A and B are shown apart, each in its own frame.
Chain A
């Protein structure tokens, strides 16, 4: 609760909104890992906002973006004027095997029965992509290397230490071909934003949301359909195209996902995301910077907070407030947030106005 309260208080302080008329809060595992429930009411109470509407959105690791979607639609509808959107997760209180098991509940029953976890599915998707499109293990390692280089410049990141390809390739194997350094960490953290009907310097231009069949074996086609559907909806909502996007925060829970995500949201053609990575296009100084915050890998992955942490990074970049990692002259930023193993994904597009 302290994490949620801190993030919420900071967001309220940084906005010019003295009062909000609703609170939407998100967490995937608070009941089991942090032993706390009724988050909406608790948060209203501790923030001194008792009386306002408050509720929780749970959408696995996509909770942050899903609750922002709810806040955006609540404000667009005119029913509420100012909505506080908060997501957080306290994950490090339990031993890793327990946390991994709780996180794995989002998978299909058939996958859980085989003893599979999130990284197991990430590994199978990684192998499929590598064999189909010619991505090498060494190039894949450039995703966490870039993430750590970016995170080292972010004062809010979980890990602020640079790593090299050798560190990644010598880290312990989790699920072949993915190693420890290909996987986002278990983190504690929270993020919050205030969504308002008032005119401000940053607008939520488009939101999109899609699902796919829950079992990996039941899915068809390349990439993550849930992201592709969400991206199409978000671009349509915003009246923008991938060509308008200046930078993106993508859900790199596993290294391979950053590459697949970058193709699914239309920034690169299918099978060519890794070439952009290799060429430096997605680096901090490249034409399409991806995960300048450090991404899930380095900034951290407190699951319920992640989607909103991505959004906070985009807002800071658009406002010129990204201390130590500010991009030059950016106007449109995109976030992509995954729920489950790629089965319930959201895309949010923000624009400086």
Chain B
């Protein structure tokens, strides 16, 4: 899926979800659509969740091939190094999708 990220022309940082200003060099960031494909860096299954959520919550940190990382929930078990895709949901959060 395609994701909107922001890129900093000064330090080459890529951030998802996108930001207007680079947190490191105060420069305006450039918006760009990139592929959500990447690799799981780490993950967890949360069994004790805050008020208003139901357990368990599976979540993974994905390093995008296009640069930057995004934290996203998953409906299936994750493994470090797994190749996945990421989609952006209506509420602005992200979800991990399988790659066949």
Residue positions of A touching B, CB distance < 8 A:
97-98, 100-101, 104, 110-111, 113-117, 119-120, 123-125, 127-128, 131, 172-177, 213, 215-218
Q: Within 8 Å of chain A (Cβ to Cβ): is B45? A: yes
Contact B59 A120 (CB under 8 A): yes
Query: Are the CB atoms of B48 and A119 closer together than 8 Å?
Result: yes
Contacts of B52 in A (CB 8 A): 101, 115
CB within 8 A of B51: which of A101, A113, A123? A101
A115–B56 alpha-carbon span in the complex (Å): 10
A128 touches B46 (CB 8 A): no
Contact B46 A216 (CB under 8 A): no
Q: Which residue of B lies closest to A123 (CB)?
A: B44
Q: Which one of B44, B48, B51, B71 contacts A215 once the chains associate, using CB atoms below 8 Å?
A: B71
B90 → chain A, closest Cβ, in Å?
Answer: 12
A127 to B93, CA, bound (A): 23
State how many angstroms separate the Cβ of A180 from the closest Cβ of chain B.
9
Docked-complex contact A218 and B23, CB < 8 angstroms: yes
Q: B15 — nearest CB in chain A belongs to which residue?
A: A218
B27 vs chain A, min Cβ distance (A): 15
**Interface contact A176-B69, CB-CB below 8 Å:** no
**B10 within 8 Å of A (CB atoms):** no
| Cβ-defined contact, A216 with B73, below 8 A | no
Q: Is the CB of B41 within 8 A of A216?
A: no
Top 10 nearest A-B pairs (CB, nearest first) are: A115-B53, A123-B44, A128-B42, A217-B69, A101-B50, A124-B42, A217-B71, A175-B46, A176-B45, A120-B46
Of the A-B pairs whose beta carbons lie under 8 Å apart in the complex, a sample of 10, sorted by A's number, is A97-B50, A114-B59, A114-B71, A115-B46, A115-B73, A116-B46, A116-B59, A213-B24, A215-B71, A218-B15
B residues in contact with A175, CB < 8 Å: 44-48
- Bound Cα distance A127, B40 (Å): 12
- Rounded to whole Å, the gap between the CB of A127 and the closest CB of chain B is 5
How far is B44's CA from A65's CA once the two chains are assembled, in angstroms? 30
Tell me whether B49 is interfacial, beta carbon within 8 Å.
yes
Q: Given the complex, which residues of A lie within 8 Å of B100, measured CB to CB?
A: none
**Residue B37 at the chain A interface, CB threshold 8 Å:** no
On chain A, the residues within 8 Å of B45 by CB distance are 175-176
Please determine whether A127 and B44 come into contact, CB atoms closer than 8 angstroms.
yes
Given A213-B23, A217-B16, check contact A117 B46 (CB 8 Å).
yes
Interface pair B71/A110, CB less than 8 Å apart: yes
How far is A174 from B48 in the complex, measured between Cα atoms in Å? 5
B23 lies within 8 A of A125 (CB): no
Neighbouring A residues of B73 by C-beta, 8 Å: 114-115
Instruction: List residues 23-72 of chain B with CB under 8 A from any CB of chain A.
Output: 23-24, 41-53, 57, 59, 61, 68-72
How far apart are the CA atoms of A262 and B80 in the complex, in Å? 25
Give min CB distance, B39 to chain A, whole Å.
13
> CB-CB < 8 A to A117: which residues of B?
46, 48-50
Are B57 and A124 neighbours in the complex by a CB distance under 8 Å? Answer: no
